[in-house]
Amino acid sequence: MTEMGSKVRVVVLGGGTAGWMTAASLIRLLPDTASVDLIESEDIGIVGVGEATLPHIRGFVEKLGIDEAAFMKATHATFKLGIDFRDFGRIGESYIHPFGSFGEEVAGIGFHHYWLELQRQGRAAPLGDYSLAVAAARANRFAPPAQDHTLASTYGYAYQFDATLFGPFMREFACRHGVTRHEGLMVEVERDGASGNVTALLLADGRRIEGDLFVDCSGFRSLLLGQTLGEEWEDWTHWLPCDRAAAMPCTHATQDIRPFTIATAMPAGWRWQIPLQHRMGNGYVFSSAHISEDEACAAIKAAAEGDPLAEPRILKFRPGRRKHSWSHNVVAVGLASGFLEPLESTSIYLAQMAITYLIELFPDQGGIDPRDVAEFNRLVDVEYDRVRDFLILHYNATTRDDSEFWNHVRTMQVPDTLADKLELWRKAARIEKYADGLFFDASWIAVYVGQGLLPERHDARVALADPARVAGALERLRGAIAAEVAAMPGHLDFLRGESGRLAPEDALAA
Ligand SMILES: Cc1cc2nc3c(=O)[nH]c(=O)nc-3n(C[C@H](O)[C@H](O)[C@H](O)COP(=O)(O)OP(=O)(O)OC[C@H]3O[C@@H](n4cnc5c(N)ncnc54)[C@H](O)[C@@H]3O)c2cc1C
């Protein structure tokens, strides 16, 4: 490490979404502690997909002091209230996993227990009717949530943006705040013979960039953590067999833009539809063990609703993660650390969390404390494991038996951590409680119920409540949600409105 009083020299390798998010965060949030250099190579480019996000990204935008309207305009972003899952549990059925709650707890008992009781009596409306986020999404309406404790505060939102525009936006922001950018191909890594730490990166034209801490954002190549330090890969293909995507943008088929992502199950995986201001993102995430790349390309072409704007592009990936994301003085963020398929739009979130933990555990001039490294790796593990289990649930909780792929995922052995969660739910409608990590009660309930996994029983205490009163309360909630939605502007109208979020060159700006 450097002398007392001087800054920790951070070198970020890679200028994709992960690289620029890391560089911008470090320079903005640790201005007196870190200096930041970033190396990127136009010859290699970025993955350039990754268009749907989770609500946590708003915290990122806010914390860095980025103006939301300017950001949305620059990245042609739309609002996202959740994901509409179609044909997952059973062909012909769909449900929305919302960024928001279903009803609220009464007398310390979760809302879903009351709903299950009414459902048992044959008196319940679909669960989604009790979620403002679901109802607004279904009506194509959007308004920012209220900041109080009223019904209008019971949801959140994320963005759907053009991944090829997000990087440049973050680059401009980061460089304006003091990040030094180096365009060039990194060809060699210098290491200290004794500690094994990385000391400098050499570029093809001879430039040498020295640092104290290196953040590997080199994407799937994982040049520092994987290739240089040889950090072991934990493969999760047996649980998440999808290993390819055929991505193809197309025009909007309608003059409206949905405030949500659609994920439709396919014979060998699923396909996404992500509405941006200027186009629709489409992609078929598939298992190459079950269909060929040509078949997947043909399927996505056939399924796209608008006119294709490009030929399908194949992206290859391996589901899993590096055993440790921080080793020596190298921290991997983004695809260099691991990848879980985009079914729940979690990859940018995982990068964001790694950045947050890195900032919390950032080394001081005294050097890197191994306890901080261990804690960072523990926190990252928790995040990955949670996301993994939640993704597997979407495949495993199904009655589909119409293809080899669905037969495989329906009957496979799931991780013990997921098996325990499933058991809790099946027996008594319980959700495993945890404080850290992603996906809390409403998310699990949305998928369990949405995919037809109903529990044997629910909390016995709900039987003590007067059934007529419970039914009345739920009906009033439905009514209040419907009224709230009716008062919201249409999603496109909101984007078009005075907020200045619509990019002027977009066809839909008119
Ligand atoms: C099919 C698919 C769909 C996805 N959808 C979503 C989604 O909906 N939501 C979501 O959150 N995430 C999604 N993701 C993940 C998302 O795309 C990534 O998390 C995100 O783009 C971050 O990528 P990255 O920055 O780690 O890597 P990359 O974009 O690959 O960037 C790597 C960088 O490293 C640089 N580099 C590499 N080697 C060198 C070298 N030798 N010298 C110099 N520079 C080098 C490159 O130039 C580039 O700048 C998706 C991913 C895939 C594959």
The finding on whether 243 has its CB within 6 A of some atom of ligand 1 is no
Q: What is the pLDDT of residue 510?
A: 45
Q: What is the pLDDT of residue 498?
A: 67
d(CA 113, CA 42): 54
Which residue type is seen at 87? D
The finding on whether 160 has its CB within 6 A of some atom of ligand 1 is no
142 located within any domain? no
Cβ-proximal residues to 475 (8 Å cutoff; 6+ apart), any chain: none
Contact, 495 vs 78, CB < 8 A?
yes
Place of tokens 């997921």: 418
Q: Going by DSSP bridges, is the β-strand pair 313-316/320-322 parallel, antiparallel, or unpaired?
A: unpaired
Interval between CA 48 and ligand 1 midpoint (Å)? 6
Name the residue of 347, 353, 384, 387 to mutate for ligand 1: max ligand atoms within 8 A of Cβ: 347
42 located within any domain? yes
The finding on whether 342 has its CB within 6 A of some atom of ligand 1 is yes
**Polymer length in residues for the chain:** 510
Name the residue of 42, 49, 244, 321 to mutate for ligand 1: max ligand atoms within 8 A of Cβ: 49
Question: At 184, which CATH number?
Answer: 3.50.50.60
Interval between CA 378 and ligand 1 midpoint (Å)? 23
Interval between CA 22 and ligand 1 midpoint (Å)? 13
213 located within any domain? yes
The finding on whether 83 has its CB within 6 A of some atom of ligand 1 is no
Interval between CA 125 and ligand 1 midpoint (Å)? 42
Q: Which atom of ligand 1 is nearest to the CA of 317?
A: 53
Residue nearest to atom 37 of ligand 1 (CA): 218
Beta-strand runs (E) in 94-236: 94-98, 158-160, 180-183, 186-191, 198-203, 208-210, 213-216, 233-235
Interval between CA 153 and ligand 1 midpoint (Å)? 34
Interval between CA 17 and ligand 1 midpoint (Å)? 6
DSSP letters spanning 435-499: SSSS--HHHHHHHHHHTT---S---GGGGGS-HHHHHHHHHHHHHHHHHHHHTSPBHHHHHHSTT
The finding on whether 186 has its CB within 6 A of some atom of ligand 1 is yes
The finding on whether 46 has its CB within 6 A of some atom of ligand 1 is yes
17 located within any domain? yes
Q: Which atom of ligand 1 is nearest to the CA of 220?
A: 30
E strand or H helix that includes residue 80: strand 78-80
Q: Going by DSSP bridges, is the β-strand pair 78-80/320-322 parallel, antiparallel, or unpaired?
A: unpaired
d(CA 447, CA 445): 5
* Catalytic entry in 7, 63, 80, 433: 80
In tens digits, the chain (510 residues) has pLDDT values of: 555 568 999 999 999 999 999 999 999 999 999 999 999 999 998 988 878 999 999 999 999 999 999 999 999 999 999 999 999 999 999 999 999 999 999 889 999 999 999 999 999 999 999 999 999 999 999 999 999 999 999 999 999 999 999 999 999 999 999 999 999 999 999 999 999 999 999 999 999 999 999 999 999 999 999 999 999 999 999 999 999 999 999 999 988 899 999 999 999 999 999 999 999 999 999 999 999 999 999 999 999 999 999 999 999 999 999 999 999 999 999 999 999 999 999 999 999 999 999 999 999 877 999 999 999 999 999 999 999 999 999 999 999 999 999 999 999 999 999 999 999 999 999 998 887 778 889 999 999 999 999 999 999 999 889 989 999 999 999 999 999 999 999 999 999 886 678 876 654 544
Q: Name the domain count of the chain.
A: 1
Encode burial over 44-83: b for 16+ CB neighbours within 10 A, e otherwise: eebbbbbbbbbbebeebeeebebeeeebbbbbbbbbbbbb
337 located within any domain? yes
30 located within any domain? yes
Name the residue of 11, 40, 47 to mutate for ligand 1: max ligand atoms within 8 A of Cβ: 47
Retrieve residue 420's tokens. 């325990």
47 located within any domain? yes
The finding on whether 49 has its CB within 6 A of some atom of ligand 1 is yes
Interval between CA 18 and ligand 1 midpoint (Å)? 7
Give 188-218 as a 3 state SS string: EEEECCCCCCEEEEEECCCCEEECCEEEECC
The finding on whether 345 has its CB within 6 A of some atom of ligand 1 is yes
Q: Which domain holds residue 170?
A: 8-51+162-233+323-368
How far from chain centre, in Å, is Cα 107? 33
Contact, 328 vs 228, CB < 8 A?
no
Interval between CA 13 and ligand 1 midpoint (Å)? 12
Q: What is the pLDDT of residue 163?
A: 93
Q: Which atom of ligand 1 is nearest to the CA of 349?
A: 11
Residue nearest to atom 35 of ligand 1 (CA): 14
Our answer to whether residue 80 is catalytic in this structure is: yes
Q: What angle do CA 121, 125, 126 make, to 5 degrees?
A: 115
The finding on whether 185 has its CB within 6 A of some atom of ligand 1 is yes
d(CA 280, CA 309): 9
